[in-house]
Amino acid sequence: MRLDTEEARRRFTTSEVARLATVSDNGRPHLVPVTFALAGPDTIVIGIDHKPKSTTELKRLRNIAANPAVTLLADRYDADWTRLWWSRADGNAHTLTHGAAHAGAWELLRARYPQYAGQELGGPVIEVAVRRWTGWAYA
């Protein structure tokens, strides 16, 4: 069954992880798992934390600079297929590197993920203005 906007948003926000899809300037898709928080009913923030990465020049950030259109997908898989659902947030992203919105995003992420306790958080933040929430659930 198709989910209405409110239910798609609600299910999305209950997920602990989502997948961020970006597109490069030459049209190649790129998909990565991300942690996130809601900064408003239609604003998602994603922090670039200090977990080990192969480079600080992340493809997702380069892609957003070249093409701000993004999609985030959260889902639930279960062996009992009557419990399946997915929720998608389509929007436009930009990167925050300083200022009140940047600091506020990190506070939201710290509050949502106890793993951030005691970490120095100050990396870039991806802010997504969601244009559309969609989703599906078996029941």
Domain enclosing residue 38, as ranges: 5-137
Read off the pLDDT of each residue in 15-23 and give the average, rounded to a whole number. 97
- 55: pLDDT strictly greater than 90: no
Number of folded domains that form the chain: 1
Output the pLDDT for position 51.
Answer: 67
- Would you say 119 and 94 are in contact if contact means Cβ atoms under 8 Å apart? no
What does DSSP assign to residue 41?
A: T
pTM of the model: 0.94
- 21: pLDDT strictly greater than 70: yes
CATH of the domain at 115: 2.30.110.10
In the block, tokens 């958080």 appear at: 121
- 113: pLDDT strictly greater than 80: yes
- 139: pLDDT strictly greater than 90: no
pLDDT digits (tens, 9 = 90+) for 30-53: 999 999 999 999 999 999 987 666
